[in-house]
Structure 1
Amino acid sequence: MTAPRPAAGPPSSSGVRRGGDTFQDLFVWGAAMRVIGPASRFAQVEVEITGAGNVDDVVLRSRTAGGDVYGQVKWATNPADLVDETFLTTPPRAGKSKSLLQKLYTSHVALKQHGNDHTMQLITNRPFDGGHPLLGHADGRTDLLVPHASQVSARTEAGTMVDRWAEHVGVTRAELLDMLGHLQFIAGRTISAERDHVRTLMLAAGLDGSEQALQQGLTTVAGWVVAGTRVVNEQDVRQAVTGLRRETPSALLVVQSIDADPHADEATVAVQWVGLYDGDEPRARVIPRDPESWNRMDRELATAAAMIENEGWSSTVVRGSMRQTTFFRVGTALPQVRQHTLRYVQRGETWSTNATKVTLDDPTLRRTQLDLGKDLAVAVGTTVDPTEEVATWLRSNQVSIHHLLTITPAAGADDASITDARHAVTHAEKGTQPGSGRARRPSRRQGGPPFLGWPRRALTPARSSSEPNPHHSGLRTSRSGTRLHTDVHCSGLNTRPNSPDRHRRTSNALVHQSPQCSRTRPSFPPAAGL
């Protein structure tokens, strides 16, 4: 995988325009992929059309009456710019034209003449102003400002802002709220995130999901724009992707564990658990408020997997923000032993469970005797050896472990030990050793999803109650770091130790079921450390 390189300097005026064009082209090509995606409800994509007001940059036409999606793309050259009060209500030419909010309302009125089932999207790389009484409360499940805007009291700051917006637009409070019920704010979208998003759609459509294939798609969109092609139907899209076809289409499973997916409506099946956690941002969402939520998540993921397989899918593209053991659970819910292929796009790399294996030496196994019980703990280290820290934690919490088995690459733990999906799959399968089970995960620093190395049998997901203490004097935490410790759930034993303060990057611990508890189905909480 090629790591992204920093820009040589600030963009020129031409570079700014090209950045905005690329941003919009990504959404157009993504819309085209939705037209040919599995069980698509859309018949065609339209680009910069007339008659849609100010939400005409990219339009998806539904196959049935109503349900069209109209997008307005706004590119900010300054990454510090926000979706805030000024952005929405200040006219661009000192009162000589309408503000963005006024234009959006005018578009809403025009679209209502054709029915009331439309969706408008304001798509931008600008993040929200989190301190705004309305914009700071967008619903992460729907990207709408309602129901918050409709439920606040008129005497609150948010309620006053609703009235101020209504007065600014020149409509009643009810009319403004009706518009807000149709307006999605797709905010904070970076080009890199959107590239990964569109590549998942390409994979789900059965296309080559490589960076080169995506670039070919963007070139196609640029050709449509230059040629004045405004309406692109399904046949046009299929003709454009003729050379990109690779295999049969895949289901799309969107797992919204610690952060909402702005495009969850694209999924074959989606699960949404963000509301089960406290915390204002993904990294703060570690343990749900109610411990029973672990079992709810397990049941819903099992149901999602059953729906995918019952519909006949044998390949699934996984997308979403989740912690490591959630990735592991996805791997067991849709296992390779049933000939099911999983793919995940992250940081420009496609990780697949059916990647071609490469030649690797057998991994190194290190056994540490603990004599705390009858179970086996397995720690997998790819960038660091986690043995001492995991053993210390197991002893301090008196977890029922007989011995700890640490598995590291043959050449030792290193941040370059897993370079791509081929190495990850090979490293996982190399783990078959008598009595050891199989437990692998690729390096988080290398960006691979842990389901590539999830044990296909005999291992239970690790229980986690850990979140690093960011104020710990000897610890530097990062979002990409792994912070996992184990809570055994076996044969009636269900300990919930206190959260440890010490953690290492890129290590993992799993609990091997002993024979006497092999029929126990554990609860699964996602581990910290996405």
Structure 2
Amino acid sequence: MKPLPAPSPTSVRITGDHYQWLIAWTGCLTLLRENAIHTANPVISVGVEADDAGNLDDVVLRRRTPPHTYTQVKYTVSSATPVNEDYLTKPSPTGGPSILKKIAKTWRALTADGIDADLAIVTNRAPDPNDALIAVRDARTQLLLPKAADGTARSKTGQARTRWAQNAGLSETELHELLSCLRFDLSRELAHVNGQLQLLMAVCGLRNDSRAVDEGANWVAQQVRDGHRTLTLDMVKAAVDSLDLKTGPAHAILSISTLKSDPLAAEADHTINWIDRFETDSEYTKRRPLAPATWAQLQADIEAAPTRLPGRTDISVSGSLRLAPAFLTGTAFRMVTGADLAVLQRGDLWSTRDTYDAECAPVVEEYDIGQGEDLAVGINVTVKAEDFTQDVLEYVEGQNIPASRLLIVTPPAGPKDRSVLDSPAANALAVGIRNALRRPARTTPRIHLFLACPMGLALLLGHRWNRLRPTVVYEDVSTAQVYEPAFFIQA
């Protein structure tokens, strides 16, 4: 691929504006979704270049009750300048106040009456890993605190605090107060913003292709050109209708992450973050909880999720999790509870609401085990048949699982990559698998379940796991024995 020519000043300005419209459209989606699911303190309007927000006026989310969110959006086509002390404290190109001093002035004005505020810098610039304060930013909250408050006045962080306070015209106590509400939302590349918007549009029940994202951002741009600086719920609803974006209901968001960060975590109604509690630093090799964390603790967190989303019936599961946690999440919101689940699978929303013409009856192969009265079940949708069957057989026999037999369940056309293409097919297969297991499981004390399937199918299958026996779910932990028991699920 040939390198692109250097961007012109006009293209830089246009791209920067489009970046801001994308961030504003994100706010519009938050407004739409929170009101649709009746969040306790929803966003009630989105300000774009708001009149009363000082230098944090680019995008303003006003809630029914403060704190409101005031955002400064900064876009650059160059990666040469990271976010660090120099970037934040140097005077503007015309010799005016620094970014930090402008933010401090705005913060003082917004909080003068004792009202809290949520402040944010959103930029595609990366954090400087060598900066004394930026380097201690908490990726979960995007705040520099609490670590920026550590150290004496003579320490590296202490000296940086003094310089920041002097530049901002604040006392160090005031700087601490500012940093307690100023989020640094960094490294938000255009591709990342577009990807997050596609996810958010899906859980809002909207078309979520790249064209739909651009249509939303272009609508924001048109409102600004027409002089509308406050975007209301009615305006956003009318835009959704006029752009023909609506596809289904808006969802509450349950974010569960065990492998990597979830782009929707900040938007989630409940978050379970186990990334640091799983083994290894690589998202590709995380397989099991890192001691002293346990599968039982993760199960308790997941099974408590329904109590954190009271009254919510349409729930979208976002994040990154392996098959056993996905299946458990489905069982936590079983169909009998009245909940409907959805999950993004390869960019498409797989939902338990989706209908199908007829259930998909799987192929079932039986192997004698003769080690007890339980039933072992291997559901294989994606792995080479011989390899999966051999792994499960060797584990069941080698670990003396008290099973009388092993059932290997596969789609009619056999296991292969992309054997389940869409949500209706996944629902049809999930129902077919459940129904195929009900009679064999009727007289067994418990089921031992092994999964090799798309994560979305594991979630949909768990959602329909009713009229079956208590189940032990195993996770592939990529060790010599391949599996280990993860969760015990009551019938």
TM range (shorter): 0.7 to 0.9
Q: Which of 415, 434, 443 lines up with 2:454 in the alignment?
A: 443
How large is the RMSD of aligned CA atoms in angstroms?
Answer: 3.8
Aligned partner of 1:136: which letter?
A
- 1:417 and 2:419 correspond: yes
Aligned partner of 2:432: which letter?
K
Residue of structure 1 in register with 2:428 after alignment? 426
- Structure-2 change in CA distance of 1:217 and 1:282 (3 Å): same
- 1:187 and 2:186 correspond: yes
- Equivalent residues of 2:472, 2:486 under 8 A apart: no
Residue of structure 2 in register with 1:375 after alignment? 374
C-alpha separation between the residues in 2 aligned to 1:290 and 1:389? 26
- Structure-2 change in CA distance of 1:189 and 1:328 (3 Å): farther
Residue of structure 2 in register with 1:69 after alignment? 69
Residue of structure 2 in register with 1:487 after alignment? 485
C-alpha separation between the residues in 1 aligned to 2:266 and 2:72? 18
Residue of structure 1 in register with 2:61 after alignment? 60
TM-score normalised according to structure 2 size: 0.79
Tell me the secondary structure at the aligned position of residue 77 of structure 1.
coil
- Structure-2 change in CA distance of 1:124 and 1:176 (3 Å): same
Q: Which of 405, 408, 417 lines up with 2:407 in the alignment?
A: 405
C-alpha separation between the residues in 2 aligned to 1:59 and 1:337? 41
Q: Deviations over 1:15-55 (max 9, x none)?
A: 65555444322221121122232225222101122342332
- Equivalent residues of 1:196, 1:347 under 8 A apart: no
- Structure-2 change in CA distance of 1:161 and 1:217 (3 Å): same
Residue of structure 2 in register with 1:501 after alignment? none
- Equivalent residues of 2:30, 2:43 under 8 A apart: yes
- Equivalent residues of 1:206, 1:249 under 8 A apart: yes
C-alpha separation between the residues in 1 aligned to 2:276 and 2:212? 36
- Equivalent residues of 1:89, 1:99 under 8 A apart: yes
Aligned partner of 1:456: which letter?
W
Tell me the secondary structure at the aligned position of residue 228 of structure 2.
coil
Aligned partner of 1:462: which letter?
V
CA apart distance, 1:228 = 2.8
Tell me the secondary structure at the aligned position of residue 357 of structure 1.
coil
CA apart distance, 1:351 = 1.9
- Structure-2 change in CA distance of 1:322 and 1:383 (3 Å): closer
CA apart distance, 1:73 = 1.9
- Equivalent residues of 1:46, 1:59 under 8 A apart: yes
Q: Deviations over 1:439-493 (max 9, x none)?
A: 877536xxx4631233513363524483679xxxxxxxxxxxxx97232767xxx
Residue of structure 2 in register with 1:35 after alignment? 31
C-alpha separation between the residues in 1 aligned to 2:152 and 2:402? 53
Aligned partner of 1:460: which letter?
T
- Structure-2 change in CA distance of 1:129 and 1:441 (3 Å): farther
C-alpha separation between the residues in 2 aligned to 1:369 and 1:158? 66
C-alpha separation between the residues in 2 aligned to 1:391 and 1:325? 19
* Aligned pairs, number: 467
TM-score normalised according to structure 1 size: 0.74
Tell me the secondary structure at the aligned position of residue 255 of structure 1.
strand
- Structure-2 change in CA distance of 1:59 and 1:174 (3 Å): same
Map of 1:21-170 to 2, 5 A cutoff? 21-36=17-32, 37=34, 38-40=37-39, 41-64=42-65, 66-78=66-78, 82-90=82-90, 93=93, 96-130=95-129, 132-170=131-169
C-alpha separation between the residues in 1 aligned to 2:478 and 2:85? 35
- Structure-2 change in CA distance of 1:484 and 1:84 (3 Å): farther
Residue of structure 2 in register with 1:504 after alignment? none
Map of 1:331-480 to 2, 5 A cutoff? 331-345=330-344, 347-357=346-356, 362-385=361-384, 386-431=388-433, 432-433=435-436, 434-435=439-440, 442-443=453-454, 448=456, 450-454=458-462, 456-457=465-466, 458=468, 460=471, 462-464=473-475, 466=477
- Equivalent residues of 1:337, 1:456 under 8 A apart: no
- Structure-2 change in CA distance of 1:19 and 1:395 (3 Å): farther
Aligned partner of 1:186: which letter?
D
Aligned partner of 2:223: which letter?
W
Aligned partner of 1:57: which letter?
D
C-alpha separation between the residues in 1 aligned to 2:299 and 2:473? 13
CA apart distance, 1:183 = 0.7
Residue of structure 1 in register with 2:444 after alignment? none
Tell me the secondary structure at the aligned position of residue 485 of structure 2.
coil
Aligned partner of 1:435: which letter?
P
Q: Deviations over 1:253-273 (max 9, x none)?
A: 233445555664543333444
Tell me the secondary structure at the aligned position of residue 343 of structure 2.
strand
Aligned partner of 1:55: which letter?
L
Greater per-residue helix proportion: 2
Tell me the secondary structure at the aligned position of residue 187 of structure 2.
coil
